[in-house]
Amino acid sequence: MIWLALKTMRHEKVRLAITLTGIIFSTVLTLMQVSMYLGMMGNATSIIRNTDADIWIASRNVQNFDFAYPFSEEKLNRVRAYHDVLRADRLIMTWGFLKLADGGQDQVQIIGFNPDSGVGAPWSMVYGRPEDVKGGRYMIMDKTSEKRLGELRIGTLWELGGRKFKLVGLSNGIKSFTTAPIIFTSYEQAQQFQGFIKADQTSYIVAKVRDREKVRDREKVRDIVNDLKANMKDNDIYTKDDFGFKTVMYWTIQTGIGLGYFLTASLGLIVGGAIVGQTVYVNTMEHLREYGTLKALGARNSEIYQVIFSQVGISALIGFTSGSGIILALRSGVEKAGVSLYLSPALFLSIFVIVLGTCLLSAYFSVKKIRTLDPMTVFRA
């Protein structure tokens, strides 16, 4: 039956080309939209995911990582007082303006971390070390910001928030959801950008739980979080996963971004499925006599179904492979333009299953027609 499906497809070259075009379009559009969405969510949670902490303590009703509001850092001692807390650190997330070489300004996201512990520091360094920001007005910038800020050279001075900072390190691939360049500096220097009335405030307190590798470690983290919630009612306390999920849900639902990507990806699947369904249906209608002959010779409906579904499956495989090749070829150029794409084997497999399922579903009407086909039509004029 697979041989018959292949022979039929080779005979109908024009319809095969139309079918493959629809599947390729569907694959490219769906993969592009999903990978862009996942890439943006990855940027939105990159600091959370790569900070070596199990618990995040924020101000009350925080919406996501980028919308931090300061609170008293004296609460750091309360967290450190817990026996199961191995360590706790302060972390600042704030905003500032960087003066450019042409005299203009660009808004940047500033991350202030403890250079002694390295918690919250850049994790993908291409030059320098995170601890190099210690002891003065030093900062680390990301290579991906060069297109927006200009050439980044170690040792140069930049005016950040009206003060001169020396560039002592370069990270790579660390982006924010808002596309604003990220600058890492010491906690003490970042604190001055907050404009606090008091000097003893922070954006986040992050804690590492003792013996995280032991059994029931998640339950231990949950217990500490619940205890902290009971004793720090003016703050929101999250596990790392929960805070990352909250950030993703904010950008996905409350801003409508997720709905936009979902609708566009769905449109690609619908268009691709419609093209496949139409071509397969027309092809089936034109070969009703041949299928009727097969049924008259004793072929079962299930065997004819195999022919039709084999055509669809083979077309889906060829079209998806071609579409995936296009995405991989475009990936470098798209990312150089500043758009992050998340592509993984699991994503390709998931999208293939969805595309294949859509194509098989689109062949339903063809199968339904065969099921009710009377073999006697072969002998009618």
Per-residue model confidence (pLDDT) at position 19: 83
pLDDT digits (tens, 9 = 90+) for 1-57: 565 556 666 666 777 788 888 889 889 999 999 999 999 999 999 999 999 999 999
**Per the structure block, which two tokens stand in for 62?**
């925080």
3-state DSSP assignment of residue 196? coil
* pLDDT of 358 higher than 90: no
pLDDT digits (tens, 9 = 90+) for 222-264: 888 888 888 888 899 999 999 999 999 999 888 888 888 888 8
State the average pLDDT over residues 117-138. 92
Question: Which has more pLDDT, 356 or 278?
Answer: 356
State the average pLDDT over residues 272-287. 74
3-state DSSP assignment of residue 112? strand
Pairwise CA distance, residues 56 & 239, whole Å: 6
Question: Which has more pLDDT, 106 or 102?
Answer: 106
Name 359's Cβ contacts closer than 8 Å, sequence gap at least 6: 23, 272, 273, 276, 312, 313, 315, 316
Kindly report which listed range (140-154, 205-219, 337-351) carries the lowest average pLDDT score.
205-219
- Side chain identity, residue 191: Q
pLDDT digits (tens, 9 = 90+) for 184-206: 999 989 888 765 545 688 999 99
Per-residue model confidence (pLDDT) at position 197: 43
| Average pLDDT in the chain | 84
Per-residue model confidence (pLDDT) at position 56: 95
Question: Which has more pLDDT, 120 or 271?
Answer: 120
Q: Is the separation of the CB atoms in 216 and 141 below 8 Å?
A: no
State the average pLDDT over residues 339-367. 85
User: How many other C-beta atoms lie within 10 A of the C-beta of residue 380?
Assistant: 8
Name 269's Cβ contacts closer than 8 Å, sequence gap at least 6: 26, 30, 354, 355, 358
Q: Is the separation of the CB atoms in 244 and 48 below 8 Å?
A: yes
**Per the structure block, which two tokens stand in for 244?**
């990352």
